[in-house]
Structure 1
Amino acid sequence: MLVVIVGTALAVWGPQAQAQERPLTVELNKFEAGEEGGCRAFFLFRNRGERTFDGFEMSLAILDARGVIDRLLTIDAAPLPAGRTTLKLFEIPEIACDSISEVLLHDMTACNAQNEGPADCFGLMELVSRTSARFVE
């Protein structure tokens, strides 16, 4: 009986605890054809935390349909206000959207909360993709 109660408690509190541990969701929401054969990527940044990020740059590796790295792309998503969802658009030049199999979060080149020093954002983020490409770290 105790096992059932503990299991139920974990099932109920688990997602809330994870949201507190990872207050920032970075979602690759949509691809659409961009200029000159490139791809436009729509990202949603859901900052459920209490800190505004005035520095937030990600280095992304774009992998083609064969799983080979096509290019590195650095995107600047700052500012990310506390308690808000922010939409950002980024151009991925010279590769068609349907040729992207995976987007790898290679590095965080800047992660600074307002009025604070650099932070380790990898532990704060959950990555999600609603596209055909995987979004992983």
Structure 2
Amino acid sequence: MAQEAGGDKGAPVKLQLNKTENAGDACRITMVVDNSKGSALKTFKVDLFAFDTEGVAQKRVAVELAPVASHKTTVKIFDFPGIACSKVGRILLNDVLACDGGEGAREACLERTEVESKGTIPFDR
């Protein structure tokens, strides 16, 4: 049983950049957070950068994606203010700023976070 619980510690948290749309002067992001194999996260704050189509860093946002229930997939919506989606060339998961839940230290959460993009804007780590 302890071994089974320990399996959750390294279970991936998958972040999918699912949809982007303009919302006034911001690029609105729809992010799917797939924690279907892991334990609950009380805090999961990520540091994201939007790069323009020339590869120059433009906007930085810190986004709290928690709470994330154990073995659950959720959807979070947030904005990159001051940049139109058509001007975003890629989004980078720069870091995990905070992570609280299970045995997840911040560094361990970064290591187990996987990213993908469903749309036209690449999402990297």
**1:33 is matched with which residue: 11, 17, 22?**
22
Amino acid at match of 1:26: L
Amino acid at match of 1:135: F
Runs of at least 4 residues of structure 1 off by over 2 A?
20-23, 116-119
Instruction: String of CA shifts for 1:68-127, please: whole Å, max 9, x gaps.
Output: 00021100011011111100000111111111111111111001115x563411221210
Instruction: String of CA shifts for 1:20-57, please: whole Å, max 9, x gaps.
Output: 9553110000001112x211000000102241000100
Percent identity of the aligned residues? Answer: 29
Matched residue, 2:94: 106
Matched residue, 1:15: none
Matched residues in 2 for 1:129 and 1:117: separation? 24
Q: Which runs of 5+ in 1 are unaligned?
A: 1-19
Matched residue, 1:118: 105
- Aligned pairs for 1:18-57 within 5 A: 22-35=11-24, 37-57=25-45
Q: Which runs of 5+ in 2 are unaligned?
A: 1-8
Matched residues in 2 for 1:25 and 1:117: separation? 15
Amino acid at match of 2:72: R
Matched residues in 2 for 1:118 and 1:22: separation? 13
SS at match of 2:16: strand
How much is the aligned-residue C-alpha RMSD, in angstroms? 1.7
**More strand by percentage:** 2
Whether the 8 Å contact between 1:22 and 1:126 is mirrored in structure 2 is no
- Aligned pairs for 1:85-104 within 5 A: 85-104=73-92
Matched residues in 1 for 2:42 and 2:10: separation? 20
Matched residue, 1:136: 124
Whether the 8 Å contact between 1:48 and 1:84 is mirrored in structure 2 is yes
